[in-house]
Amino acid sequence: MKKTTLINSEVSYVIAKLGHFDAITICDAGLPIPKNVQRIDLAISEGVPSFMDTLNAVSTEMEIESVELAEEFPKLSPELHGILKDFIATLAAQRGKEITVTYVPHAVYKATTEKSVAIIRTGEFTPYANITLKSGVVF
Protein backbone atom coordinates (compact mmCIF):
# COMPACT_ATOMS: atom_id res chain seq x y z
CA MET A 1 0.00 0.00 0.00
CA LYS A 2 1.17 3.48 -0.87
CA LYS A 3 2.11 5.55 2.18
CA THR A 4 2.35 9.05 0.75
CA THR A 5 -0.35 11.69 1.24
CA LEU A 6 -2.02 10.95 -2.09
CA ILE A 7 -3.35 7.38 -2.08
CA ASN A 8 -6.00 7.61 -4.81
CA SER A 9 -4.75 5.32 -7.56
CA GLU A 10 -6.44 7.13 -10.46
CA VAL A 11 -5.09 10.53 -9.44
CA SER A 12 -1.60 9.12 -8.79
CA TYR A 13 -1.58 7.42 -12.19
CA VAL A 14 -2.59 10.60 -14.02
CA ILE A 15 0.13 12.61 -12.25
CA ALA A 16 2.74 9.94 -13.03
CA LYS A 17 1.94 10.25 -16.76
CA LEU A 18 2.15 14.06 -16.94
CA GLY A 19 4.67 15.78 -19.16
CA HIS A 20 5.77 19.40 -19.07
CA PHE A 21 2.79 21.77 -19.55
CA ASP A 22 0.17 18.99 -19.27
CA ALA A 23 -2.79 20.10 -17.17
CA ILE A 24 -5.04 18.67 -14.47
CA THR A 25 -8.15 20.51 -13.30
CA ILE A 26 -9.54 20.25 -9.78
CA CYS A 27 -13.13 21.44 -9.71
CA ASP A 28 -16.11 22.07 -7.50
CA ALA A 29 -19.19 19.85 -7.65
CA GLY A 30 -20.84 21.91 -10.39
CA LEU A 31 -18.25 22.52 -13.12
CA PRO A 32 -19.30 20.90 -16.41
CA ILE A 33 -16.76 18.25 -17.40
CA PRO A 34 -16.15 17.81 -21.13
CA LYS A 35 -16.99 14.32 -22.40
CA ASN A 36 -13.55 13.84 -23.97
CA VAL A 37 -11.63 14.46 -20.70
CA GLN A 38 -11.02 11.78 -18.07
CA ARG A 39 -13.30 12.37 -15.07
CA ILE A 40 -12.03 11.37 -11.64
CA ASP A 41 -15.06 11.85 -9.43
CA LEU A 42 -14.13 12.07 -5.77
CA ALA A 43 -17.35 13.86 -4.70
CA ILE A 44 -19.19 12.06 -1.90
CA SER A 45 -21.37 14.78 -0.40
CA GLU A 46 -21.37 18.54 0.10
CA GLY A 47 -17.84 19.54 1.08
CA VAL A 48 -16.41 16.02 0.94
CA PRO A 49 -13.72 16.06 -0.18
CA SER A 50 -13.06 19.77 -0.09
CA PHE A 51 -11.34 21.70 -2.85
CA MET A 52 -8.37 22.62 -0.64
CA ASP A 53 -7.93 19.09 0.78
CA THR A 54 -7.84 17.73 -2.77
CA LEU A 55 -5.44 20.41 -3.99
CA ASN A 56 -3.16 19.83 -1.01
CA ALA A 57 -2.98 16.09 -1.69
CA VAL A 58 -2.37 16.56 -5.43
CA SER A 59 0.36 19.13 -4.79
CA THR A 60 2.35 16.60 -2.74
CA GLU A 61 3.04 14.63 -5.92
CA MET A 62 2.68 17.09 -8.78
CA GLU A 63 5.27 19.66 -9.82
CA ILE A 64 3.11 22.72 -10.48
CA GLU A 65 4.54 25.38 -12.78
CA SER A 66 1.46 27.54 -13.24
CA VAL A 67 -2.24 27.69 -12.49
CA GLU A 68 -5.32 29.08 -14.19
CA LEU A 69 -8.39 30.41 -12.36
CA ALA A 70 -11.65 32.10 -13.32
CA GLU A 71 -11.41 35.87 -12.92
CA GLU A 72 -14.77 35.80 -11.07
CA PHE A 73 -13.30 33.66 -8.26
CA PRO A 74 -11.78 36.49 -6.13
CA LYS A 75 -14.95 38.59 -6.18
CA LEU A 76 -17.56 35.85 -5.71
CA SER A 77 -15.65 33.59 -3.28
CA PRO A 78 -13.11 35.91 -1.63
CA GLU A 79 -12.49 33.80 1.48
CA LEU A 80 -11.55 30.62 -0.38
CA HIS A 81 -9.63 32.64 -2.97
CA GLY A 82 -7.53 34.19 -0.19
CA ILE A 83 -6.79 30.76 1.28
CA LEU A 84 -5.83 29.53 -2.20
CA LYS A 85 -3.51 32.50 -2.85
CA ASP A 86 -1.73 31.88 0.46
CA PHE A 87 -1.45 28.18 -0.35
CA ILE A 88 0.10 28.88 -3.76
CA ALA A 89 2.56 31.39 -2.27
CA THR A 90 3.60 28.89 0.43
CA LEU A 91 3.98 26.09 -2.11
CA ALA A 92 6.14 28.30 -4.36
CA ALA A 93 8.34 29.30 -1.40
CA GLN A 94 8.77 25.67 -0.30
CA ARG A 95 9.81 24.64 -3.81
CA GLY A 96 11.92 27.70 -4.51
CA LYS A 97 10.11 28.24 -7.82
CA GLU A 98 7.54 30.82 -8.81
CA ILE A 99 4.05 29.54 -9.65
CA THR A 100 2.45 31.76 -12.27
CA VAL A 101 -1.24 32.52 -11.68
CA THR A 102 -3.43 33.47 -14.65
CA TYR A 103 -7.05 34.62 -14.53
CA VAL A 104 -9.49 34.23 -17.44
CA PRO A 105 -13.26 34.81 -17.75
CA HIS A 106 -15.25 31.82 -16.46
CA ALA A 107 -16.64 31.06 -19.93
CA VAL A 108 -13.09 30.86 -21.29
CA TYR A 109 -11.98 28.84 -18.25
CA LYS A 110 -14.67 26.20 -18.87
CA ALA A 111 -13.63 25.93 -22.52
CA THR A 112 -9.93 25.50 -21.68
CA THR A 113 -10.66 22.57 -19.35
CA GLU A 114 -11.04 20.52 -22.54
CA LYS A 115 -7.24 20.58 -22.75
CA SER A 116 -6.85 18.95 -19.32
CA VAL A 117 -5.55 15.40 -19.13
CA ALA A 118 -8.07 14.78 -16.34
CA ILE A 119 -10.58 16.67 -14.23
CA ILE A 120 -10.87 15.80 -10.55
CA ARG A 121 -14.36 16.56 -9.21
CA THR A 122 -14.60 17.36 -5.50
CA GLY A 123 -17.58 17.83 -3.20
CA GLU A 124 -16.85 21.56 -2.94
CA PHE A 125 -19.95 23.80 -3.06
CA THR A 126 -18.09 27.15 -3.10
CA PRO A 127 -18.72 29.01 -6.37
CA TYR A 128 -15.77 29.13 -8.79
CA ALA A 129 -13.63 26.77 -6.68
CA ASN A 130 -11.84 25.45 -9.76
CA ILE A 131 -8.17 25.41 -10.63
CA THR A 132 -6.20 24.13 -13.59
CA LEU A 133 -2.70 23.02 -12.64
CA LYS A 134 -0.03 23.00 -15.35
CA SER A 135 2.80 20.58 -14.86
CA GLY A 136 6.36 21.70 -14.46
CA VAL A 137 9.57 19.72 -14.37
CA VAL A 138 11.48 18.69 -11.26
CA PHE A 139 14.89 19.72 -12.59
Per-residue pLDDT of the chain (139 residues; tens, 9 = 90+): 777 889 999 999 999 999 999 999 999 999 999 999 999 999 999 999 999 999 999 999 999 999 999 999 999 999 999 999 999 999 999 999 999 999 999 999 999 999 999 999 999 999 999 999 999 998 8
Range of the domain at 90: 21-135
8 Å CB contact between 130 and 69: yes
CATH number for the domain spanning 36: value is: 3.40.1650.10
Domain assignment present for 16: no
Please check if 128 is assigned to a binding site.
yes
Domain assignment present for 2: no
Please check if 86 is assigned to a binding site.
no
Domain assignment present for 99: yes
How many domains in the chain? 1
Residues that are catalytic:
20
- Cα 116 to Cα 119: distance, rounded to the nearest angstrom: 7
> What is the reported pTM?
0.96
The bridge status of strand 23-27 relative to strand 64-70 is unpaired
Domain assignment present for 65: yes
Please check if 109 is assigned to a binding site.
no
